[in-house]
Amino acid sequence: MSKLIIIDDDIPLTQMLNEYLTQSDLNVVVFNQALFALEYLKLNDADLVLLDVMMPGLDGFETLKKLRGFSDIPVIMLTAKGDDYDKILGLELGADDYLAKPFNHRELLARINAIIRRFGEDGSIKRQSRITLHGIVLDTATQTAQVSGQTIELTGTEFQLLSLLMRNAGTLITKEKLTEAALGRRLSAFDRSLDMHISNIRKKLSPFGLLDLIKTVRGNGYLFKGESV
């Protein structure tokens, strides 16, 4: 049974989500204060975190920053409806997905299941053991990335995207295909999630002089440079 951590100060909402998601065969642990959740996650494993942005004291963004300091567990951010700033900032800080409040419970469950499938024991991310290109070494068994022996800290979604691009080096992959393969959903109008994840990967490769490996093909998708390109 997959384990889900909910971090949200809205007690009625978390009680309702706990009941609904437990009935959907998820092991749910609820925290209404972020600091307690962070301490728990330092000592316990989980498959996914559902994290609200608007919380008193330590908000969702600060919580995510602290969480990324010791864990790459997938995170879905719950943002204010229509607030693009929250969505973009959450993705920049390392969130894997976001959902605007109020949301449909079935859509939330679909997003949760999609992420758990991608990063589960039988997920596609672990099918090929190692990918090496342009000095980047991806070990998909341990989900680690290195350049010249130095570790690149990637979130689960960033790792998934980079591995997809590297496995298909020299070939254009459309945004639609990347979104479906790495984010587990269809690309929708005005959805900048994929672009923000790619931007984060570029920033993390930049210190190694590898900023230009992922090329944008405007209006189509992205291409990772092959050895001969």
CB burial string 104-113: b at 16+ within 10 A, e below: eeeebeebbb
CB 73 within 8 A of CB 49: yes
Report the C-alpha gap between 34 and 7 in whole angstroms. Answer: 6
Which among 167, 149, 160 is positioned nearest to 201, based on CA atoms? 160
Instruction: Note the CATH number of domain 2-119.
Output: 3.40.50.2300
Q: Which residues contact 226 (CB under 8 A, 6 or more apart)?
A: 169, 170
Report the C-alpha gap between 68 and 204 in whole angstroms. Answer: 14
Which among 106, 200, 128 is positioned nearest to 157, based on CA atoms? 200
What average pLDDT does range 28-55 have in this prediction?
A: 92
Report the C-alpha gap between 166 and 171 in whole angstroms. Answer: 9
pLDDT above 90: percentage of residues in the chain: 45
What average pLDDT does range 200-220 have in this prediction?
A: 90
Least confident segment among 11-20, 70-79, 114-123, 129-138? 114-123
Indicate the average pLDDT of the chain.
86
The amino acid at residue 129 is: S
CB 164 within 8 A of CB 223: no
pLDDT digits 0-9 by tens, 158-183: 998 998 899 888 889 999 988 888 88
Q: What is the pLDDT of residue 128?
A: 46
pLDDT above 70: percentage of residues in the chain: 93
Q: What is the pLDDT of residue 115?
A: 86
Domain locations in the chain as residue ranges: 2-119, 126-224
Q: For domain 126-224, which architecture applies?
A: Orthogonal Bundle (1.10)
Q: What is the pLDDT of residue 120?
A: 62
Q: Which one of 9-23, 141-155, 177-191 scores highest in mean pLDDT? A: 9-23
What average pLDDT does range 213-224 have in this prediction?
A: 90
pLDDT digits 0-9 by tens, 103-149: 899 999 999 998 888 776 443 333 446 788 898 998 877 778 999 88
Q: What is the pLDDT of residue 82?
A: 63
